[in-house]
């Protein structure tokens, strides 16, 4: 079974910062990776699919890259509404999540 | 606009079977372009994929839950369902249904989720 490991598990940052979250797969998964944002009490929201394709309606400050076993989600300039938990997902398994909080 | 809505009991007794239904509106569940999935999230924890189904009835399940999970589809009602048997307190979670495009990765949209508590 493929395992996904996100790092860091917790991230503290300020509005305007550039942040990067990493997702590592236990074996190569080509570009079959998605990223989600989840806010408390809400369903996850798809941000990026196929490793780097921005879902319709998602702000361009979000970007994804990578292939094979290492992937990154980058937020170029944090906005107040971006403080949330982020998950990566291969076809089915999810990473454990990265909680992004305001410094 | 496609919408998904979970429904079912919010309280299930230990050792019994959890049953949930996801009703799809604004689109057809019979499209060959999509898979339909169940995902859960225990309180304060991360997301766990449970299983997915194609409109034809083909299913695949999380290996860790496979022995207890059955997902089925009713195209006439535009619904798909989840059954999880022999539940314990560890199965207490918010259960979500969602759609995935068959040729890529990523669930969208999602239902709002429904909390199922396992308790006597």
Give the mean model confidence (pLDDT) for residues A75-98: 95
Nearest CB among B46, B98, B111 relative to A96 is that of: B46
Q: By the CB < 8 Å criterion, does B54 face chain A?
A: no
d(CA B49, CA B32): 21
Structure tokens at B118: 């396992």
Collect all residues of chain A within an 8 Å Cβ-Cβ radius of residue B35.
none
d(CA B36, CA A51): 21
Q: What is the pLDDT of residue B90?
A: 98
- Inter-chain touch A34–B106, beta carbons under 8 Å: yes
Distance from CA of B120 to the nearest CA of A (A): 25
- Inter-chain touch B49–A89, beta carbons under 8 Å: yes
Give the mean model confidence (pLDDT) for residues A81-91: 95
d(CA A78, CA B51): 34
d(CA A88, CA A81): 19
- Inter-chain touch B106–A50, beta carbons under 8 Å: yes
Give the mean model confidence (pLDDT) for residues A4-15: 96
Q: Between β-strands B107-110 and B48-54, what pairing exists: parallel, antiparallel or unpaired?
A: unpaired
- Inter-chain touch A43–B52, beta carbons under 8 Å: no
Give the mean model confidence (pLDDT) for residues B70-91: 97
Give the mean model confidence (pLDDT) for residues A98-103: 94
Q: What is the pLDDT of residue A103?
A: 87
Distance from CA of A18 to the nearest CA of B (A): 24
Q: Please determine, for residue B105, whether its predicted confidence score (pLDDT) is greater than 90.
A: no
Q: Please determine, for residue A16, whether its predicted confidence score (pLDDT) is greater than 90.
A: yes
Give the mean model confidence (pLDDT) for residues B52-73: 94
Interface with B, mutate which of A44, A51, A73, A84 (most B CBs under 10 A): A44
Collect all residues of chain B within an 8 Å Cβ-Cβ radius of residue A56.
none
Terminal Cα distance for chain B, rounded? 39
Collect all residues of chain A within an 8 Å Cβ-Cβ radius of residue B112.
43
Q: Please determine, for residue B111, whether its predicted confidence score (pLDDT) is greater than 90.
A: yes
Q: Please determine, for residue B87, whether its predicted confidence score (pLDDT) is greater than 90.
A: yes
Q: What is the pLDDT of residue B101?
A: 87
Q: How confident is the model at residue B85 (pLDDT cuts 50, 70, 90)?
A: very high
Q: Which residues of B29-64 are buried (b: 16+ CB within 10 A; e: fewer)?
A: beeeebbbbbbbbeeeeebbbbbbbbbeeebbbbee
Give the mean model confidence (pLDDT) for residues A23-39: 95
Q: What is the pLDDT of residue A20?
A: 98
Q: What is the pLDDT of residue B69?
A: 98
Task: Kindly report the backbone phi and psi dihedral angles of residue B30, in degrees, each rounded to the nearest multiple of 5, phi listed first.
Answer: -85, 5
pLDDT tens readout for residues A38-84 = 999 999 999 999 999 999 999 999 999 999 999 999 999 999 999 99
- Inter-chain touch B47–A55, beta carbons under 8 Å: no
| Residue B89: DSSP 8-state | G
Strand partners, A62: A75
Strand partners, A41: none
pLDDT tens readout for residues B1-54 = 999 999 999 999 999 999 999 999 999 999 888 999 999 999 999 999 999 999
């Amino acid at each position: 079974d493929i395992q996904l490991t996100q790092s860091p598990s917790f991230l503290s940052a300020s509005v305007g910062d550039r942040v990067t979250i990493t997702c590592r797969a236990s074996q190569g998964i080509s570009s079959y990776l998605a990223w989600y944002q989840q806010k408390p009490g809400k369903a996850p929201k798809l941000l990026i699919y196929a490793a780097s394709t921005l879902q319709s309606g998602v702000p361009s400050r979000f970007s994804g890259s990578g292939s094979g076993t290492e992937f990154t989600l980058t937020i170029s300039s944090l906005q107040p509404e971006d403080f949330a938990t982020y998950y990566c997902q291969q076809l089915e398994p999810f990473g454990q999540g990265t909680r992004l909080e305001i410094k | 606009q496609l919408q998904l809505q979970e429904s079912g009991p919010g309280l299930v007794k230990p050792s019994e079977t959890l049953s949930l239904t996801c009703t799809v509106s604004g689109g057809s569940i019979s499209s060959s372009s999509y898979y339909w999935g169940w995902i859960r999230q225990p309180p304060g924890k991360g997301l766990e994929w449970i299983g997915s189904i194609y409109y034809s009835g083909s299913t695949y399940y999380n290996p860790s839950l496979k022995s207890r999970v059955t997902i089925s589809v009713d195209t006439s009602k535009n619904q798909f369902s989840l059954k999880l048997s022999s539940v314990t307190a560890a199965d207490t979670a918010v259960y979500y249904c969602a759609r995935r495009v068959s040729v890529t990765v990523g669930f969208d949209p999602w239902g709002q989720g429904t909390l199922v508590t396992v308790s006597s």
